[in-house]
Amino acid sequence: MRTLLIAVLAVVLAAAYGVTGAVYAGAPQNAAAPTGNVEAGKGHWALGNTSCRNCHGGDGEGAFGPPLAGRNLTYERFRSYVRNPAGRMPGYAESQLTDQEIADMTAYFDSLPPVPKPGAWRIPLPAGAPRGQQLAIAVVGCGQCHGATFETPRHGMAEVNGEWEWFKRMVYQHTAAQPEQWGQFDPAMPRVTPSPAGPPGRNRVRMGNYSPARLPESLLKEMYDWAMDLGPLAPLTARITAGTAGGTGATYEVTVLNAGVKNKGMTVEDITVAVALPPGSKVADATGTGYEGVRPDAEGTGNVALWRIPRLAATESQTLKMTLSAPASTLRGTIRWGRPAVKADEDVTFQLATGRGGRGGI
């Protein structure tokens, strides 16, 4: 039954995709084609200016999307499809991929040998997937970038308390909507969702714009309803940093932050923060909101230092401290929350900072 559903929906979408949307701005159609450079094209493909590799494979061998390697593509044909696709992908504007970069990638793909068969999908369809998830992973393909449970859109939704209109605009007008959301963040604060891509200064948006003519709003709403049933993902992040060792042991700070947009993002409630204690280590002292002491971990294999924070509004943070009986070479922790309720991806993990930055202090 699931296979039949996917096949029927693919036919429906294929018919819808035959309608050509508005042409993206770029070089005139009769302009001379740029000369492509193979090495430059390889670099464009590898550096993640967009997320094309998630569907078409790391070397253009194909996966969810068709192969590009060894197809003897022409610049004109490839550019036309990138700007106004007739299939399941969004269209990409000049601000995301320039005509020169398209020419370079065409040269790169044409330098590669053909592949006998496409590679495996980056995100396979789980057994027993509900209809919305089937659409997202196996029909439209959004899940090939956003994951089997739509982690990135669900985080983005919570960052600004977005609902259906937010979701719809993010899909149909993504190249305008995503920079607008980026512009609402405090640049000094960490984020849980991806930042701009591409060479320095370009601030590229990875995803293109879908056309309602090729991705009907009714199908988009089914994917949205499935994601909302899973629940918005609290944009929580945490970081452990080491202080100085003293006579009573080694002190560590845990900073927990709601990385949503101030006065707009979701407030997160009933937050538990658990830091796993190294074997043989004891907590000599601990401070911070809601410290509940040392408890056995959920697996019953060790102990955790546990805090319970009642709530964090967007941009609010809490700093928790603990002093261990001896320095630790590694420390790992987990955050969970009660509201907003979620059915998937309910854990945020973090660890002792190594200086590289990023979500979870790694």
Say whether both 206 and 257 belong to one domain.
Answer: no
**Region 238-265 average pLDDT:** 89
Q: Which of 233, 262, 289 is the last residue of a domain?
A: 233
Pairing mode, strands 317-324 and 283-287: antiparallel
Q: Which of 190, 214, 233 is the last residue of a domain?
A: 233
Say whether both 40 and 120 belong to one domain.
Answer: yes
Please give the structure tokens belonging to residue 184. 């609402």
For 51-74, what is each residue's pLDDT tens digit?
899 999 999 999 999 999 999 999
For 175, phi then psi, to 5°, come to -65, -15
Burial of 340 (0-12, 13-18, 19+ CB in 10 A): middle
Give CA–CA dist 211/311, Å, rounded: 39
For 14, phi then psi, to 5°, come to -60, -40
| Between residues 201 and 3, the one the model is more confident about | 201
What are the Cα distances from residue 257, in Å, to 44, 88, 150, 308?
A: 34, 37, 22, 14
Nearest Cα neighbor of 66 from 126, 119, 3 is: 119
CA angle, residues 292, 293, 295, in degrees to nearest 5: 105
For 220, phi then psi, to 5°, come to -60, -40
For 116-164, what is each residue's pLDDT tens digit?
999 999 999 999 999 999 999 999 999 999 999 999 999 999 999 999 9
Give CA–CA dist 121/115, Å, rounded: 15
Residue 31's region, left for phi above 0, alpha for psi from -120 to 50, else beta, is beta
Say whether both 219 and 248 belong to one domain.
Answer: no
Say whether both 307 and 167 belong to one domain.
Answer: no
* pLDDT score recorded for residue 361: 43
Give CA–CA dist 362/353, Å, rounded: 5
Mean pLDDT of the chain: 88
Please give the structure tokens belonging to residue 146. 């956003």
Helical segments of the chain, H only: 2-17, 38-47, 53-56, 75-83, 99-111, 131-134, 143-146, 151-160, 164-172, 174-182, 217-230
Say whether both 97 and 199 belong to one domain.
Answer: yes
**Region 288-307 average pLDDT:** 93
Q: What is the CATH number of the domain that holds 253?
A: 2.60.40.1530
Domain that residue 251 falls in = 236-361
* pLDDT score recorded for residue 355: 47
For 304-330, what is each residue's pLDDT tens digit?
999 999 999 999 999 999 999 989 989
Q: Using pLDDT thresholds of 50, 70 and 90, give the confidence band for residue 9.
A: very low
For 152-203, what is each residue's pLDDT tens digit?
999 999 999 999 999 999 999 999 999 999 999 998 899 899 888 766 666 7
DSSP state of 135: I
Give CA–CA dist 225/132, Å, rounded: 7
Say whether both 44 and 141 belong to one domain.
Answer: yes
Say whether both 301 and 229 belong to one domain.
Answer: no
* pLDDT score recorded for residue 26: 43
b/e per residue 105-129 (b: at least 16 CB within 10 A):
bbbbbbebeebeeeeebbbebeeeb
Give CA–CA dist 286/297, Å, rounded: 18
Strand (E) positions, the chain? 236-246, 249-258, 268-276, 283-287, 291-296, 303-312, 317-324, 332-339, 348-351
* pLDDT score recorded for residue 23: 36
Give CA–CA dist 117/124, Å, rounded: 17
Q: Which of 200, 233, 266 is the last residue of a domain?
A: 233
Residue 103 has pLDDT above 80, yes or no: yes
Tally of structural domains, the chain: 2
Residue 220 has pLDDT above 90, yes or no: yes
* pLDDT score recorded for residue 52: 93
DSSP helix/strand/coil, 113 = coil
Say whether both 213 and 243 belong to one domain.
Answer: no
* pLDDT score recorded for residue 354: 60
Say whether both 161 and 249 belong to one domain.
Answer: no
Say whether both 192 and 273 belong to one domain.
Answer: no
Q: Using pLDDT thresholds of 50, 70 and 90, give the confidence band for residue 30.
A: low
Say whether both 56 and 161 belong to one domain.
Answer: yes
**Region 97-110 average pLDDT:** 96
Burial of 321 (0-12, 13-18, 19+ CB in 10 A): middle
Say whether both 222 and 249 belong to one domain.
Answer: no
Q: Is the pTM of this model over 0.75?
A: yes
